């Protein structure tokens, strides 16, 4: 048993990197920062309340949801309010489709104001996303580590740093077997925006 653990934690464990595709220079760094400023200043950001055991706490980040009309999305039992596409977001979506061949009808924006903002361990497995969703994640602003852990063996971990202007594709069985998070950081951080383009079927 201990040998198995040892094996898992050392050379026997391999994160299935084929479930990710990372393009660090997807956007020009200056264009990425300009887009971040525009979005921070124009998006009607919301802060939701989430249940933590028996308490209600504010979600430690701001969010907004854009997409095609008639799409709704449920997250942790709530229906999110959908805004009609901003031209900047639609242009970015079309650029991702052009580069990757994947299509998307909505985008969830996460605004991490500083090092105290975060997203807890989760999988993006809502039924609207279908079984093996392709999610395209664009990062703007401060670089932060994006961590993964295996659902049924938390000692199997992996992380990559998502830099300004990067694109990460998450695909295949990733949302079945792996959780991900952005942890709070113990050092000062400037703002970061993350845009996750998704295809919602209803
Ligand atoms: O901020 C990130 O890079 C990830 C956000 C995320 O996991 C999500 O919106 O589901
Ligand atoms: Fe996620």
Using one digit for the tens of pLDDT, what is the confidence trace for 120-140?
999 998 777 777 889 999 999
- Helices (H) and strands (E) counted in the chain, each on its own, are 4, 15
The CATH number of 2-10+24-198, from 3.30.420.480, 3.30.499.10, 2.60.120.590, 3.20.20.70, is 2.60.120.590
Are the beta carbons of 126 and 76 closer than 8 angstroms? no
pLDDT-based confidence at 80, cuts 50/70/90? confident
pLDDT at 8 exceeding the cut of 50:
no
Lowest mean pLDDT among 59-63, 72-76, 135-139, 177-181: 72-76
Phi-psi region of 194 (alpha: psi -120 to 50; beta: other; left: phi over 0): beta
Q: What ligand 1 atom has the least distance to the C-alpha of 168?
A: 3
Q: Write down the pLDDT at residue 91.
A: 97
Query: Which ligand number lies closest to the CA of residue 175?
Result: 2
CA 46 to centroid of ligand 1, rounded, Å: 16
Question: How far is residue 185 from each of residues 11, 33, 131, 167, measured CA to CA in Å?
Answer: 28, 21, 32, 22
| Measured distance between the N- and C-terminal CA atoms of the chain, rounded to whole angstroms | 45
Task: Please answer whether residues 193 and 139 qualify as being in contact, where contact means their C-beta atoms are separated by less than 8 angstroms.
Answer: yes
Ligand 1 pocket, residues with Cβ under 6 angstroms: 108, 110, 119, 124, 137, 146, 162, 180, 182, 194, 196
pTM (predicted TM-score): 0.90
Ligand 1 centroid to Cα of residue 6, in Å, is: 31
pLDDT at 5 over 70: no
- Specify which residues 94 forms β-bridges with: none
Nearest C-alpha to atom 2 of ligand 1 is from which residue? 194
In contact, 150 and 15? CB cutoff 8 Å: no
The better pLDDT of the pair 50, 142 is held by 142
Q: How confident is the model at residue 1 (pLDDT cuts 50, 70, 90)?
A: very low
| ipTM for the whole predicted complex goes beyond 0.85 | yes
130: left (phi over 0), alpha (psi -120 to 50) or beta: left
């Amino acid at each position: 048993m201990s040998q198995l653990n040892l094996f898992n934690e050392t050379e026997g464990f391999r994160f299935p990197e084929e479930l990710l595709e990372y393009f660090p220079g997807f956007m020009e760094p200056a264009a990425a920062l300009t887009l971040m400023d525009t979005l921070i200043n124009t998006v009607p950001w919301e802060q939701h309340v989430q249940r933590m055991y028996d308490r209600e706490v504010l979600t430690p980040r701001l969010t907004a949801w854009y997409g095609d009309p008639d799409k709704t999305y449920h997250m942790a039992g709530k229906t999110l309010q959908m805004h009609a596409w901003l031209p900047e977001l639609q242009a970015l979506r079309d650029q991702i489709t052009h580069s990757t061949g994947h299509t998307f009808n909505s985008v969830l924006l996460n605004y991490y104001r500083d090092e105290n903002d975060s997203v807890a361990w989760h999988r993006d497995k809502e039924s609207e996303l279908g079984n093996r969703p392709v999610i395209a994640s664009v990062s703007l602003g401060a670089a932060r580590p994006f961590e993964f852990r295996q659902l049924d063996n938390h000692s199997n971990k992996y992380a990559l740093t998502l830099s300004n202007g990067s694109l990460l594709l998450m695909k295949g069985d990733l949302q079945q077997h792996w959780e991900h998070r952005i942890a709070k950081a113990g050092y000062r951080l400037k703002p970061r925006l993350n845009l996750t383009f998704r295809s919602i079927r209803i």
